[in-house]
Amino acid sequence: MPKEPLTEEQLSFSFLLPWSDKRILTTREVAQALAMSDNAVRELVESRELEAHRYTIYGGPEARLSNRITTRSVLSWFAKTADYAPGAIVDALVEIAKTLTPSMLAVLIQKLQQLRK
């Protein structure tokens, strides 16, 4: 089954997630990315604010539930809880660029073009 592509909005928040190349994350990874406790992440899963694949590991009396959380739901959570527009940084960078000398601006443009290669 092909991976579902991330939306443009989700991609704009991927810089916040060190594991954005992974499609499924552990509770601990999500907790680190969201700066929350593992229990807070489990509550987000329980309330269906994060998509998760849930299964029991370790049979018998030591059984516990494990979550594997989708990256797209973490990125969606970032998008829903952000109090800023990701594109706003572009406007701020343009304002900074306006203060550069022509030679500094030429160097910046050259370095930006190298990022695309």
Distant-in-sequence, close-in-space partners of 10: CB < 8 Å, separation ≥ 6: 72, 75, 76, 79
Provide the CB-side half-sphere exposure for 45 (13 A, CA).
Answer: 24
Q: How confident is the model at residue 65, as a pLDDT?
A: 73
Spatial separation of the C-alpha atoms in residues 23 and 11, rounded to whole Å: 13
Q: How confident is the model at residue 36, as a pLDDT?
A: 95
Q: How confident is the model at residue 6, as a pLDDT?
A: 63
Q: CB of 41 within 8 A of CB of 66?
A: no
Q: How confident is the model at residue 91, as a pLDDT?
A: 84
User: Which strands, in side-by-side order, build the sheet including 64-70?
Assistant: 24-26, 64-70, 52-57
Q: How confident is the model at residue 14, as a pLDDT?
A: 80
Q: How confident is the model at residue 9, as a pLDDT?
A: 66
Q: How confident is the model at residue 52, as a pLDDT?
A: 92
At 67, list the tokens.
């979550």
Where the chain has pLDDT below 70, the residues are 1-7, 9-10, 20, 56-64
